[in-house]
Amino acid sequence: MSKVEALPPLREVIAQHELAARKSLGQNFLLDLNLTRKIARSAMPWTDATVVEIGPGPGGLTRALLLEGAPRVIAVERDDRCIAALQDVIAAADGRLVVHAGDALETDFAALAPPPWQVVANLPYNIATPLLLGWLAQAQNFTRITVLVQKEVAERLAAKPGGKTYGRLAVAAQWRAEVRMLFDIGPQAFVPAPKVTSTIVELTPRTKPLAEAEPAKLERVTAAAFNQRRKMLRAALKPLWPDADAKLGQAGIDPTRRAETLSIEEFCALARLM
């Protein structure tokens, strides 16, 4: 039995460190090691990157990453109670695990380990989207991102044109990465149980974005288009261009179409006209 396998059960760790879950920190813990090992395996094969886990909490997924052979893991956690609880995992990891105390939104990964990074995490639901958008803005530094998020967020990340869930998030994510939903995890797997189903989603950064565009311009075009998603583009894009009809014509896009029908390449064509 390895030192990690010999660690006390997570329920004991939680009781010993009085880790009552805090809603403000998006704490919903996974205690079933079979499940956390399944999540770790879904992130494999390990790339030649440092594995970064956000929010290790009491360490269920962290243990699984170590047991599934992740060569180097850096875990970023902002709850001091969890940092204390993780000390035994650090000791059992024989140098493969570093825990960084801090806010993941503010953490410069490069100060912890040189890129590339491979993220595997059960993300705090309240900051999942800003974290993902921040990573995608430097997508070349990530080999793969495998994260557990609310199913609704996974659907918005993976959405294809034509549906209700297709919007700014899908364009921002799929412009830079291939997005795949891997499997769902029901509320009962977590302590405490959240209200909604969660999904493991995988983002594999593209070597270069799907089509040429400046990020800020693409963001402005998609914001304008989807802010009024029921309107025809000729009306929705008026705030950007008084002569939206002409611009759409230049991009070869029928001005009577609606935002949700546009491909990412078409949004990029519009961004290039700005």
Choice between 29 and 226, CB closer to ligand SAM: 29
Question: How long is the chain?
Answer: 274
Element (H, E) at 154: helix 151-158
Of the candidates 189, 202, 199, 200, the one whose C-alpha atom is nearest the C-alpha of residue 28 is 189
Name the residue among 50, 203, 46, 67 with its Cα closest to residue 123: 203
| Residue 274 burial (10 A CB sphere; 0-12, 13-18, 19+) | middle
Smallest Cα–Cα separation from 183: which of 46, 43, 30, 33? 43
Which C-beta is closer to ligand SAM: that of 89 or that of 251? 89
Nearer to ligand SAM, 26 or 116 (CB): 26
Q: Tell me which of 64, 74, 76, 153 binds ligand SAM, using CB under 6 A.
A: 76
**Whole-angstrom distance, CA of residue 210 vs CA of residue 86:** 40
Using the rule CB under 6 A, give the single segment among 40-48, 52-60, 172-180, 228-236 that binds ligand SAM: 52-60
Q: What angle do CA 98, 103, 109 make, to 5 degrees?
A: 55
Member of 4, 57, 222, 236 binding ligand SAM (CB under 6 A): 57
In the complex, residue closest to ligand SAM by CB: 55
Q: Contact region for ligand SAM (CB under 6 A) — 55-63, 150-158, 159-167, 218-226?
A: 55-63
> What is the enclosing helix (H) or strand (E) of 54?
strand 50-54
105 binds ligand SAM (CB under 6 A): yes
Site string for ligand SAM, 10-49 (x = CB under 6 A): ---------------xxxxxx-------------------
Q: Decide: 28 and 194 in contact? Cβ < 8 Å.
A: yes
Footprint (CB under 6 A) of ligand SAM, residues 107-136: 122, 124, 127
Contacts with ligand SAM by CB under 6 A lie at 25-30, 54-57, 60-61, 76-79, 82, 103-105, 122, 124, 127
List binding-site positions: 28, 30, 55, 77, 103, 122
